[in-house]
Amino acid sequence: MKLSKIILGCLLLSIITISCNKSSQTTSTAATVTTSGEYNDLFVPPSITGTNFNLTLAKATKQFKTGAATATYGYNGNSFWGPTLIMNQGDDVKINVTNNLTDQTTVHWHGFHIPAVMDGGPHQIIDAGGTWSPNFKIKNNAGTFWYHPHLHMKTYEQLAKGAGGFIIIKDPAESALALPRTYGTDDIPLVFSSRRFNTDNSIDISGAYGDYLLANGTMNAQVTLPKQYVRLRLLNAEIERGYDIGLSDNRTFSIIGNDGGLLNAPITTNRVKIMPGERVEILVNLGNDALASTIDLKAYNTGQKFGFPGAEPATAGDFGSLLNNKDFNLLHIKVGATTASAITSLPSKLASNVYWTNADVTNSRTINITGGQAGAAFTFDNNTYGFTSINQTIKLDAIEKWTIVNNNIFGHSFHVHDVQFKIIARSSGTVGEHESGWKDTVYVPLGETVTVIAKFDDFSDAVNPYMYHCHFSNHEDGGMMGQFIVK
């Protein structure tokens, strides 16, 4: 919980190369929407499509509130967040990440199945002024992924200041479906987070929760979406807050995908919980709405049980916030004209995922959530993160069952690098339909035990570890992270 002030030293394992290959990269311009009344135009990140990508992280400023502009971070000249990288399954991609901060950084490709040394975890440090150029084959299925800093004890600060971006993977199976996929028109990436501002309008980097909701870095965001099915790619990039998402008229929507890509079939619901690090793709039917009518995408966070991050009643302090334990707007939607390529119906079948079961398991292990008492940091198995510690060693091609036990004091988002797993059991009852697909992040509520199965295939490395950690970045920075090698 409490952020350590220890300075990292001697982190010399980074792979720094200089490259300036700009071929086969195309950049779109950011979409703009008219501002009206109390709302601000939703920022839709520009997209970059191709196999060679250049990302440059730099300091920026953004006018969030009246008075001073807020010091932020952004990639590629954006004042907050970064461009959406669009990649195709099977492509060999190369990314040049240049760090124009005065601090070190790393960039992790959240959800990607790639070699550990390309993963962008705490070991792949990019020094100030340096460039890191990972390359890897895209092996994941079509879905919504993201990139963000993973520098140990700086993840919270760098993410809070705006460093992050979406990655959309496409594949032939997804492309064959009649789904909305015109980026920025009927296919909208939406990253939600909240921030607290200091009196000088700088971003507070001490508490668990922000006071003001940001959608793609936009406060009080509004967007015009066409009168048809629209696809919203939801990402919770909070420090700690969870959302129970719904629409203001309580209409149903269809969940079509989660972290690792498409579900086998759409799920119809009027609420979906999404925790830090998780993604959910939903289709909302605006086809029956009147032109110029409005509807709000909201978080229905009133009355969540203690242990749900953001349920605490306090309005101030390290665990309080103006948004805690209440319903609040995520996005104001205006209904605009139908497009020429409108999707007007929903496929009944989406994918043919075959999931791991207990019968496939070759090894099992248990991870206990520990610590957190009396202001101490949270840990796994009573071990605080160690940069050179290997907490788990996994055989290449093992199909492992991980049981995450939370007999502790609060809920957490558990994220594993390298793999997409299948959630097979929750001790409180059944696994939610919305999390029935491949997952890389799972919410572990207070008092619950969650069991997942993953295959650790393709990439072995006896030296370079992958991470597993709480995706509350304050907990992660505080040491709620472990390392595993696959060999």
Q: For binding to Cu ion (CB under 5 A), which residues are involved? A: 412, 470, 472, 475
d(CA 18, CA 339): 43
Residue 363 β-bridge partners: 400
> At its nearest, how many Å lie between Cu ion and the CB of residue 325?
19
Q: Which of 351, 335, 310, 194 is nearest to 251 (CA)?
A: 335
Give the residue carrying structure tokens 């759409």. Answer: 266
Instruction: Decide whether 217 or 411 has the Cβ nearer to Cu ion.
Output: 411
CB of 1 to Cu ion, least distance (A): 9
- Per 3-state DSSP, what percentage of the chain is helix, strand, and coil (rounded to 5)? 5, 40, 55
Min dist CB 278 to Cu ion, Å, is 14
- Can you say whether the dihedral through the CA atoms of 69, 310, 420, 86 is positive or negative? negative
The H or E element that residue 156 is part of is helix 155-160
8 Å CB contact between 158 and 99:
no
Minimal distance in Å, beta carbon 480 to Cu ion?
5
Could you tell me if 186 and 343 are in contact, meaning their C-beta atoms sit under 8 angstroms apart? yes
Which residues lie below 8 Å from residue 310, measured CB to CB, with a gap of 6+? 209, 240, 241, 242, 243, 301, 304, 321, 323, 324, 325
- Of 359, 43, 372, 133, residue with least CA distance to 240: 372
**How many other CB atoms are found less than 10 A from the CB of residue 302?**
12
**Looking at beta carbons only, is 136 or 414 nearer to Cu ion?**
414
Closest approach of Cu ion to the CB of residue 414, in Å? 8
Alpha-carbon Rg for the chain in angstroms:
21
Nearest distance in Å: CB 42, Cu ion: 29
Closest separation between CB of residue 446 and Cu ion, Å?
A: 11
Shortest approach of Cu ion to residue 474 CB, angstroms? 8
Strand duo 272-274 + 243-247: pairing: antiparallel
Q: Between 69 and 409, whose beta carbon lies closer to Cu ion?
A: 409
Residue number, 45 or 277, with CB nearest to Cu ion: 277
Q: Which is nearer to Cu ion, 284 or 450 (CB)?
A: 450
Cβ proximity to Cu ion: between 323 and 444 the closer is 444
Neighbour tally for 232: CB within 10 Å: 24
Nearer to Cu ion, 83 or 372 (CB): 372
Q: Which is nearer to Cu ion, 239 or 255 (CB)?
A: 239
